[in-house]
Structure formats: structure tokens, C-alpha cells
Structure 1
Amino acid sequence: MGLIRWFTQNIADTDTNTHADVVPQRYPIAASDAIDRIRAIVQTLPRWQVVESAAEAGTLRLTRRTRTLRFVDDITLRIVPTESGIELHARSQSRLGKGDLGQNRRNLLELFAALRRDLGA
């Protein structure tokens, strides 16, 4: 099933169970600080760019360019306040093609790893 998904799917999403390891993430930070802190972390990642942030809506729109062919993937983050911090929902989708060879999953895992390093888990 994994190989078929590489050639037929160009999306990874925490809310639609596209991949077993791509699930909503929880971080122990105040919801009011989340957008600014996440934006600062994203700006340190190579080939990532913040396109739009809406603090009042709790959303961030990002892009990531692939290294070799410079394809652009669109990433949308949605921050949901919880009792102990925030829950982050994320979606990464390729702009071109029918299959992403797993790149959108890798995008989200790269982002989650960077956030875990700086925000805790």
C-alpha cells in the first residue's frame, strides 16, 4: 500500500489519516504565543517560507520548496487551544502531480521535529 500511495497521493494531513505517523501534535505553549513562535521556527528552516499568518484565526500558511526540482508544496497549520497548551493540525499538499513520492509526509515530519526541538512535546 505504501508504494501505491507514493504514486497516487500528493497530500499529507493530520485530520484525514493519510499516514499513520502524521497526527495532530500537542505542544505546551500558550495559544496566544503560538503563531509568533511557530513563525520564528519556520523561518529558520531551509526552503520554508511563511506566506500568511492570521493570529485571530489561529492559522499559518507556509510553503516549502523541494531541493532538486524546486517544486512548491503548500502547508496549512491550524492551532487549537487546549488546557495544557495547543494542538497543531497540519496539511501539506503538492501543487503539481498526482503523487508526491512521500514528500508531503516528510514536510510535516520535518516541521514537527523542528517544533518539538524548540517548543517541547
Structure 2
Amino acid sequence: MKILISLVSFIGFLLVVLPGPLYKYGIIDLGTAFAGFTLGMMAGGAALIMLLLQALFKRQTLTLGSAIITVMFSAIAIIMPLSMLSKAKSVPPIHDISTDLKNPPEFVAIIPLRADAPNPATYAGEDTAEQQREAYPELQTLTYSQSKSELVEASEQAVNNLGWELVNSDASAGIIEATDTTVWFGFKDDIVMRINDGGIERLVDIRSKSRIGKSDLGKNAERIHAFIKELDDVLVE
């Protein structure tokens, strides 16, 4: 029985861990991947119930090693999807984040790369802006004293440091575009940075948008925060 319980917990673990890479390499679609999460949670829960029953009625067949393995695999199978669900509930169901909500930076070179993407390159609209204002009020246009050329160069370095793919850098227009590919599912999210001359200061705006999905689980806002921090670090070097 302990082998069966360990096997069920391991199957639950696989149903939660494998959907990401399988979707990333085009083996399954996104719906199937998310269905795997549900089945994985069910398998993990079933394994824990079976383990409890074994402990109550067949304690002599229970070993510490098999119990630890079952609990470990089952915990991962249950906690990972619940963590994602909790994150989804804690952030607004949007996927287009910008530091300038009235005139968001526009994609240029990235537009052809998004030709087949479910989410269009155009800004998502005022409803998205309102939800962002409530969830991420700290995301505002940035001001820097450095020249436009210095900021473009520093932005390129920040993009490289973050491991993003640099798609376009136009120093004269003050536009930098990049793509970030997530590790687990391989989702591609696009970023555009715009640098304008504001007189004695330069105005920097960043926009990050997912190619697929209604909710980004807060990833685009996190990405903008990461870029700002990296840009500031590069500028003080």
C-alpha cells in the first residue's frame, strides 16, 4: 500500500510540475496545462488521505521514509496551484502595465513579434488603467538628470543584466524594446522603455505587457519594479 500511496503523490507532483515545460515546448496547450494543476491537487490530496488511513488502520506497513516522500510530493502538488490561485486573487486581472497611463509607450519593433499573440500590442484601455491605479499607485513616470544617450545605454545594460532579449534600441527616439521569457511556462512578455526630454530632466516611462492571458499574476508590475531597480544600479556604477 505504501508504494501505491507514494506513486499517487508522485503522479500529483508530476501533474503540477510538468505542465509548464510541456506547454513551453509546444507539447500541450495551455488549457491542458491548467487542467493538470487541478488533477495534481486532487492526486496530492488523495495521497494524503490514503496516508492518513494507512497510519490509522495499517500502521505496521507505514515507514518514515515513504511517509516523508508522500507528504513532500503531495505538499508540492497542492501548494503550488493554491499559491498561484492566491496570487491571482490578490492582484487585478490585467496584463498591460505602464508608468504612463494617459500616454503609454507604444511598441514599434515588437509589433510583428506579437502578430499571433492573443493580446494585441495596443494599450488595454481605461478600465485597465483604473485597476492599475488602485493596485500599483507607485508606478509613475520617472525623472533622471542624465542625458538621453546615457539613459539609453544604461537601459540596454539593465536589459542585459536582467536576462531579457533586446529587440530594439533607438537612441534618437529614446526607445528601447525587449522581451522577457518566463522560465517555467516560457510565456513571452514584452517591454518598451521611452525616454523624453523634460527640460532640465529626462522623463522615463516603462510599459510591460503579456502576449497571452487575461491576468499576469502581477508579473508585469514586478518586472517594471525590477527594471527600475536595475537601471538605478547601473546609473550609480
TM-score range, shorter chain: 0.7 to 0.9
State the shift of 1:3 in Å: 2.8
Alignment of 1:22-37 (within 5 A): 22-37=139-154
Q: Deviations over 1:86-111 (max 9, x none)?
A: 22111100000100000000010000
1-structure distance, mates of 2:170, 2:189: 19
| Number of aligned residues | 116
What amino acid maps onto 1:82 in structure 2? Answer: G
Give the number of the structure whose residues are more often helix, by fraction. Answer: 2
2-structure distance, mates of 1:56, 1:83: 16
What amino acid maps onto 1:73 in structure 2? Answer: D
The equivalent residue for 1:54 is 170
State the shift of 1:4 in Å: 5.5
Gaps of 5+ in 2: 1-88, 102-128
Give the number of the structure whose residues are more often strand, by fraction. Answer: 1
Q: Deviations over 1:59-107 (max 9, x none)?
A: 1111111121111111111101234442211110000010000000001
2-structure distance, mates of 1:4, 1:105: 10
8 A contact 1:11–1:92 mirrored in 2:
yes
The equivalent residue for 1:9 is 94
What amino acid maps onto 1:3 in structure 2? Answer: S
Relative to structure 2, which stretch is displaced further, 90-99 or 111-120? 111-120
CA RMSD of aligned residues (A): 1.7
1-structure distance, mates of 2:232, 2:97: 19
What amino acid maps onto 2:98 in structure 1? Answer: D
8 A contact 1:31–1:85 mirrored in 2:
no
Alignment of 1:66-85 (within 5 A): 66-85=182-201
Secondary structure in 2 aligned to 1:109? helix
Larger radius of gyration: 2
What amino acid maps onto 1:44 in structure 2? Answer: N
Relative to structure 2, which stretch is displaced further, 95-104 or 81-90? 81-90
Gaps of 5+ in 1: none
2-structure distance, mates of 1:110, 1:30: 22
